[in-house]
Amino acid sequence: MVIMRPLAVLRHDLPASLVVFLVAVPLSLGIALASGAPVAAGLVAAVVGGVVAGALGGSVLQVSGPAAGLTVVMAETIQTFGWAVTCAITVAAGALQILLGLSRIARAALAISPAIVHGMLAGIGVTIVLGQLHVILGGKAQSSAVENIAELPGQIVAHHDSAALIGVLTIVILLLWPKLPAAVRKVPGPLAAIAVATVVSVVAGMTLPRVELPGDLLDIHLVPQLPGSWGGFALAVVTIALIASVESLLSAVAVDRLHTGPRADLNRELVGQGAANMLSGAVGGLPVTGVIVRSSTNVAAGAKTRVSAVLHGVWVLLFVVLLAGLIQSIPLAALAGLLVHVGAKLVNPGHMRTVLAHGDLPVYLLTLGGVVVFDLLTGVLAGIGLALVLMLRRTLWSGIHVETEGDSRRVVVEGVLTFLSVPRLSKVLGAIPAGVPVRLELVVDYLDHAAFESLTTWQQAHERAGGTVDVDEVGHPWFGEGKAGRPTRSRLAASRAVPRWLAPWSEWQAVEGIPAQQTRRGATEFHRRAAPLLRDTLSGLADGQRPRTLFITCGDSRIVPNLITTSGPGDLFTIRNIGNLVPPGQADPSMNASIEYAVGVLGIEEIVVCGHSGCGAMAALAEGPPPGPLAVWLRHAEPSAHRTGSATLDGAVPDREGDRLALHNVLQQLEHLREYPSVASAEAAGRVQLTGMYFAVGTAQVYLFDGAERTFRPAGASVGVPGG
């Protein structure tokens, strides 16, 4: 097995590496062209990225090489410092990446908003398209995107030579390639487009600019040179290191979503990328990053280990050495067409829809515009700045509005209430007429000292003027704790409040008087908060109910069927009585009608009988009920008291007799249900399932009866045969 494993890996990785190699060669040449670097620099980066980053990186299936995401900043760097100093910048950027990886802060890069990353890529794409369109049209790319835009109309109306034909042909092939048969698409589209365009240009004898390579590609010297000015040099190092790191890390995370193998070690990935950049810069190559296009191709081709990425770098090296003459036949216009296609794909409409849905479109557009109009670093920094502003606004936002209810006012404050909201809060509260009753509802995640003082001062002034202020806090009592001299200092220190729809009235209502006031206030709470959330659900149930479960349980106030089953309106057809009884012999007309209606008309699929701990009916049955209506009703439960054997909770017998009897009672009522002809026939036909349930009030634990083990087991445990 030890010998076969490498062979099995190579069976997947060898063909995958060949596919990635075929994609990498034209892309590497095109990226070098767009960056203004020597064309050979793209191939050098592809070799080093594949071998070094592939072997040392933390992402098993990620493929590294020169990336379109760095073309803009590299073009600016080369124009500013020259190629030799740019190589030194690449070496220093790689060293910085290694330090970042060793400091184990790689995951911090993931804190950058996706809107900024997508905006950055879109800006790069727009810049590439604007520049390479000039090359396709037979001209030369200008030094900035703005100049490219200004010169583009004249370039379009000018005379077009064979370069335009080759560029357009390349784009057409790339657009049509995904629509061709699968057998044809086994050849990567970029390779096919460049190959066809090159063959057409050679056969037609076209005279147009082509790729130029140095005479001896293996004659590599140490290219880097130190700069004359260190300030700009340092800024360029940091810029390239950060952009390359972010792009590599985001690509690694994206690749992890494409396969089920080992997850990426992001810190190790940075170290591997840094080592590759140091070597690439030292031997005259472009900066290296993880590239999502090649990586996704690698996964789709069936790669299993990092061997595929390493081999792809080896194939690039052999191709360059053995077929340098073939590379020199490639027209620059064909590479420009490939880059226009790649750049256009970086402007992803799906990303725009996503950031729009999340409210981050301004960040995306500002980043895109900053990259296109100024430079990549300016665009990214502008995007980060706007993202921080929006984050602060969302974090510190508070919604404040007033509703008039007769002669009173209802003031609702939502969100985070801090000193930033005090001016608006004071304006809203100051507009409330003196002497009117006010209900102040605080639905806040945090209340700072300034906001507390503002509310307290206003409340005291309003009450001195003859008005009343009823403060209702939904959630943690920030204001109440402050008035009690126990101010909560942070969100972490705030206790988690029980939602009102779950908490007993006594925990959130501060109303004295008759219970009707509690009911009225609870109904008002439902109307204001729950009804808007349930309206769509209930509107679908307005014309009839379609429950799937008949739920028979005790009338005990501690048992809330929808709560313990996590169900909602329209889910349960519920019957409640003292002791969750199903009178034997169909002795109770009300129960008869309910069961027949549930099974025969509603077509329910399950009948649940739910007993519970601390049941007063079972305690009375065990002790002997006093004469009266209760005793008459509990006669229906006498068969439960006469059952033999032991009923257990997960194999244990309850200590209290009433609880033991409650378990027997559930099983007995299931037997009574089977005396109903409609239930018996439906169960026999497999249309209805009978389920025994028990709720332990003190531990809030639901138990289901396991018919195979003859015990009630905790919900969530594997139950063999349900029912009784």
Judgement on whether residues 589 and 479 belong to the same structural domain of the protein? no
Average pLDDT on 333-341 reads: 84
Do 702 and 590 fall within a single domain?
yes
Question: Is 558 a catalytic site residue?
Answer: yes
Taking each helix axis from N to C terminus, what angle separates 4-35 and 332-346, rounded to the nearest 10 degrees? 100
Q: Which residue do the tokens 């494993």 mark?
A: 5
Residue 342 included in any domain: no
What residue type is 642 in one-letter code? Answer: H
Catalytic residue among 554, 610, 659, 706: 554
The CATH code of the domain that includes 450 is 3.30.750.24
Inside any domain, residue 722: no
User: Strands 398-405, 64-65: parallel, antiparallel or unpaired by DSSP?
Assistant: unpaired
Which of 439, 464, 497 is at the close of a domain? 497
Residue 257: the pLDDT is 74
**Which tens digits make up the pLDDT trace of 610-658?**
999 999 999 999 888 888 999 999 999 999 988 877 789 988 999 999 9
Same domain for 618 and 469, yes or no, is no
Asked if residue 196 is part of any domain, the answer here is no
Handedness of CA 504, 505, 506, 509 (dihedral sign): positive
Does residue 510 surpass a pLDDT of 60? no
Q: Residues 573, 463: one domain?
A: no
User: What is the structure's pLDDT at 271?
Assistant: 96
Catalytic member of 448, 462, 615, 664: 615
Q: Are residues 465 and 585 in the same domain?
A: no
For residue 496, the model assigns a pLDDT of: 64
Q: Which residues pair with 554 in a beta bridge?
A: 577
Q: Judge if 433 and 558 occupy the same domain.
A: no
Q: Which whole number is the average pLDDT over 600-606?
A: 94
Question: Is residue 490 domain-shared with residue 557, that is, in the same domain?
Answer: no
Residue-wise pLDDT tens digits, 664-680: 999 999 999 999 999 99
| 575 and 492 part of one domain | no
Residue range(s) defining the domain that contains residue 41? 4-159+226-321+357-373
Specify whether 487 is located in the same domain as 600. Answer: no
Per-residue burial over 386-405, b = 16 or more CB atoms within 10 Å of its CB, e = otherwise: bbeebeeeeebebebeeeee
Cα–Cα distance measured from residue 238 to residue 450, given in angstroms and rounded to the nearest whole number: 41
Active site (annotated) includes residue 87:
no
Q: Is 556 a catalytic residue?
A: yes
488 and 556 assigned to the same domain: no
Is residue 528 situated within a structural domain?
Answer: no
Lowest mean pLDDT among 211-220, 374-383, 685-694: 211-220
Domain count, the chain: 3
Inside any domain, residue 184: no
Can you give the pLDDT at residue 2?
A: 34
Proportion of the chain above pLDDT 70, given as a percent? 91
Higher pLDDT: 545 or 530? It is 545
Within-domain flag for 660: yes
Catalytic, out of 256, 556, 659, 706: 556
Q: Say which residue the tokens 């950060």 belong to.
A: 242
Residue 168 lies in a domain: no
Average pLDDT of span 338-350: 83
User: In residues, how long is the chain?
Assistant: 724
The residue from 294, 462, 476, 612 that is catalytic is 612
- Asked if pLDDT for residue 500 goes beyond 70, the answer is no
Q: What is the pLDDT of residue 212?
A: 73
| Band of residue 511 on the pLDDT scale cut at 50, 70, 90 | very low
Name the one residue in this structure whose structure tokens are 């709560």: 563
CATH of the domain at 701: 3.40.1050.10
Domain check: are 559 and 471 in the same one? Answer: no
Burial environment of residue 97 by CB neighbours within 10 A (0 to 12, 13 to 18, 19 or more): buried
pLDDT digits (tens, 9 = 90+) for 564-596: 998 989 999 999 999 999 998 888 999 999 999
- Considering the domain architecture, whether residues 368 and 426 belong to the same structural domain is answered as no
Helix 292-300 to helix 4-35 angle (10° resolution) is 150
Q: Pick the catalytic residue: 11, 394, 520, 558?
A: 558
